[in-house]
């Protein structure tokens, strides 16, 4: 990636923003100082990776806003990295949670909401049979198990640059020689992940064909667009090609819509009529409570029932105790029925388009070789002139030092965007003025960088 700004200037401005961050947040600083009984000082160690001098401690969040313990109000374009895609604490979900909380919620048995949720998901996504899990990570682990169990084939195919949660089989990359290797940084990795996972570049149907050709692939698991390595949109016809090749080679097509549900009411696959064999959706499905779902075609469901019938004893290796509890199902129903509606998408998509256009105009005005992509409520800017076509291209366009400066400066200006890349989500409560504030905030960084 050609560097537009001098690293020394980026570093100097970052120091200035860090000092400002520290000075403005005594309460967060005090909480960080008293966090010695948490590993790395946080309840999940990666919460330290936001690039702030110490974590930002949140007091409360509502709609498109969150408020830290020092009383600073932020417009939130991170939205819990999709968990709060429709805003924080949407009233119908909060009410359903409160109502269920007083009536018992963890019986390891279904309630009436489960049937409603199943029927709704079938109607919304066109897949007739569903299961509930607690996280998208878990749902992905389970679909891989189903795919292998149903096909008797060992290998899964994913695309380079993918992220499907902390599912071992998918924590892989393609190395310079085209081999599938474990992602760098994995802790405690023992198994050779390349043994049963094959990685191919996104938007490369020839490579996918070659990966499927041996006939040992249980499924291809992918997002419709890669959204965790910056954003990589599918070429025209790519996903149709994936669908055709998976059918041709007898592999299931599993679509992970956890992030791309930003696209529209039935996700990206619904929008283009993709017809996956299985579909996974986590994060926003119950308004941001830990919950996920996965659906399957009638054919897959029939095979799954037969497989279960053939194994009357033992453990399937799927499901966790607290999954699908009454609490989760009540929240999911309220969310699907009253929050994740067509009306919500009608608000967010045009607003995100305005954000994307305003950022494009900003970068053009500043003659920056940066691009902006958008799928529904989700926008991303990347430090490359045209949208990347593969995960490797997207990774090469990253500049973590510059990204951290922009994020920290925005935070100091009261705007939160998603860490680790440059993603911004718009929810139904995001005001137009917040979009202007975000774009002005980025412009302020650019002007400071130009000196
Ligand atoms: N699938 C995709 C596409 C994701 O982006 C993520 C998380 N970023 C997951 C699955 C896993 O979600 P969770 O961390 O909630 O398990």
Instruction: Assign residue 428 the CATH number of its domain.
Output: 3.90.1150.10
Residue 81 domain-assigned? no
Residue 83 domain-assigned? no
134, 228, 282, 294: which to mutate for ligand 1, most atoms within 8 A of CB?
A: 282
Domain enclosing residue 353, as ranges: 7-76+342-450
Q: What is the number of structural domains in the chain?
A: 2
pLDDT values of the chain reduced to their tens digit, one per residue, 451 residues: 557 899 999 999 999 999 999 999 999 999 999 999 999 999 999 999 999 999 999 999 999 999 999 999 999 999 999 999 999 999 999 999 999 999 999 999 999 999 999 999 999 999 999 999 999 999 999 999 999 999 999 999 999 999 999 999 999 999 999 999 999 999 999 999 999 999 999 999 999 999 999 999 999 999 999 999 999 999 999 999 999 999 999 999 999 999 999 999 999 999 999 999 999 999 999 999 999 999 999 999 999 999 999 998 999 999 999 999 999 999 999 999 999 999 999 999 999 999 999 999 999 999 999 999 999 999 999 999 999 999 999 999 999 999 999 999 999 999 999 999 999 999 999 999 999 999 999 999 999 999 8
Pair 196, 99 in one domain:
yes
Ligand 1 centroid–CA 410 distance in Å is 25
Cα separation of 272 and 265, whole Å?
12
Pair 172, 302 in one domain:
yes
User: Cα angle at 57 between 56 and 60, to 5 degrees?
Assistant: 120
Q: What is the pLDDT of residue 451?
A: 84
Can you say whether residue 109 is alpha, beta or left, with left for phi > 0 and alpha for psi between -120 and 50 degrees? beta
Residue 82 domain-assigned? no
Pair 348, 274 in one domain:
no
Pair 66, 138 in one domain:
no
Cα separation of 225 and 268, whole Å?
8
Q: What is the pLDDT of residue 62?
A: 98
Pair 289, 318 in one domain:
yes
Ligand 1 centroid–CA 137 distance in Å is 6
Pair 271, 380 in one domain:
no
Query: So what's the ipTM on this one?
Result: 0.99
Residue 86 domain-assigned? no
207-217 in b/e form (b: 16+ CB < 10 A) is bbeebbeeebb
DSSP label of 182: E
DSSP label of 340: S
Pair 203, 276 in one domain:
yes
Closest atom of ligand 1 to 165 CA is 11
In this structure, the strands spanning 252-256 and 278-281 are parallel
Pair 292, 353 in one domain:
no
Identify whether the C-beta of residue 169 lies closer than 8 Å to the C-beta of residue 144: yes
Pocket of ligand 1 (CB under 6 A): 81, 135-137, 140, 163-165, 223, 228, 256, 258-259, 282-283
Residue 412 domain-assigned? yes
Pair 347, 327 in one domain:
no
Closest atom of ligand 1 to 162 CA is 3
44, 138, 258, 267: which to mutate for ligand 1, most atoms within 8 A of CB?
A: 258
Pair 325, 376 in one domain:
no
Pair 324, 434 in one domain:
no
Pair 380, 394 in one domain:
yes
Residue closest via CA to ligand 1's atom 8 equals: 165
**What's the CATH number where 318 sits?**
3.40.640.10
Compute φ and ψ for 306, nearest 5 degrees: -65, -40
Closest atom of ligand 1 to 83 CA is 15
Ligand 1 centroid–CA 258 distance in Å is 6
Ligand 1 centroid–CA 166 distance in Å is 8
Q: What is the pLDDT of residue 312?
A: 86
Decide which of 277, 305, 338 is a domain's last residue: 338
- The beta strands (E) that lie in 134-262 are given as 155-159, 172-174, 180-182, 197-200, 217-222, 252-256
Decide which of 304, 338, 372 is a domain's last residue: 338
Q: What is the pLDDT of residue 1?
A: 56
Decide which of 338, 357, 377 is a domain's last residue: 338
Ligand 1 centroid–CA 225 distance in Å is 14
Cα separation of 159 and 255, whole Å?
12
81, 137, 141, 287: which to mutate for ligand 1, most atoms within 8 A of CB?
A: 137
Q: What is the pLDDT of residue 4?
A: 86
């Amino acid at each position: 990636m050609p560097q537009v700004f001098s690293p020394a200037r980026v570093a100097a401005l970052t120091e200035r923003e860090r000092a400002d961050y520290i000075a403005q947040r005594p309460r967060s600083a005090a909480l960080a100082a008293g966090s010695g009984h948490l590993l790395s000082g946080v309840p999940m160690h990666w919460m330290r990776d936001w690039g702030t001098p110490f974590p930002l401690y949140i007091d409360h969040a509502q709609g498109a806003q969150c408020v830290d313990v020092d009383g600073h109000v932020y417009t939130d374009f991170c939205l819990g990295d999709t968990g709060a895609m429709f805003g924080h604490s949407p009233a119908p979900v909060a009410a359903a949670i409160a109502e269920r909380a007083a009536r018992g919620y963890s019986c390891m048995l279904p309630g009436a909401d489960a049937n409603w949720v199943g029927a709704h998901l079938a109607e919304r996504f066109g897949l007739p049979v569903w299961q509930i899990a607690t996280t998208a990570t878990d749902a992905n682990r389970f679909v891989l198990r189903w795919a292998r169990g149903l096909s008797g084939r060992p290998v899964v195919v994913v695309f380079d640059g993918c992220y499907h949660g902390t599912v071992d089989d998918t924590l892989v990359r393609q190395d310079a020689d085209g081999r599938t290797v474990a992602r760098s940084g994995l802790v405690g990795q023992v198994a050779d992940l390349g043994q049963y996972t094959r990685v191919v570049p996104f938007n490369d149907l020839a490579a996918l064909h070659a990966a499927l050709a041996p006939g040992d692939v249980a499924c291809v698991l992918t997002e419709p667009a890669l959204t965790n390595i910056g954003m990589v949109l599918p070429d025209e016809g790519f996903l149709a090609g994936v669908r055709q090749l998976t059918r041709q080679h007898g592999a299931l097509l599993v679509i992970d819509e956890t992030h791309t549900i930003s696209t529209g009411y039935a996700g990206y696959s619904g929008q283009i009529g993709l017809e996956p064999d299985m579909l996974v959706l986590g994060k926003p499905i119950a308004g941001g409570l830990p919950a996920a779902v996965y659906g399957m075609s009638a054919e897959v469901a029939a095979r799954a029932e037969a497989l279960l019938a053939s194994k009357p004893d033992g453990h399937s290796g799927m499901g966790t105790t607290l999954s699908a509890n009454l609490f989760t199902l009540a929240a999911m129903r309220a969310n699907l029925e009253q929050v994740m509606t067509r009306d919500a998408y009608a608000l967010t998509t045009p607003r995100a388009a305005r954000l994307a256009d305003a950022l494009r105009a900003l970068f053009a005005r500043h003659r920056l070789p940066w691009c902006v992509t958008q799928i529904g409520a989700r926008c991303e800017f990347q430090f490359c002139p045209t949208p990347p076509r593969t995960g490797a291209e997207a990774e090469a366009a990253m500049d973590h030092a510059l990204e951290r400066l922009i994020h920290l400066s925005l935070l100091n200006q009261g705007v939160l965007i998603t860490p680790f890349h440059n993603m911004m989500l718009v929810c139904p409560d995001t005001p137009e003025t917040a979009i202007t504030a975000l774009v002005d905030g980025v412009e302020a960084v650019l002007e400071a960088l130009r000196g």
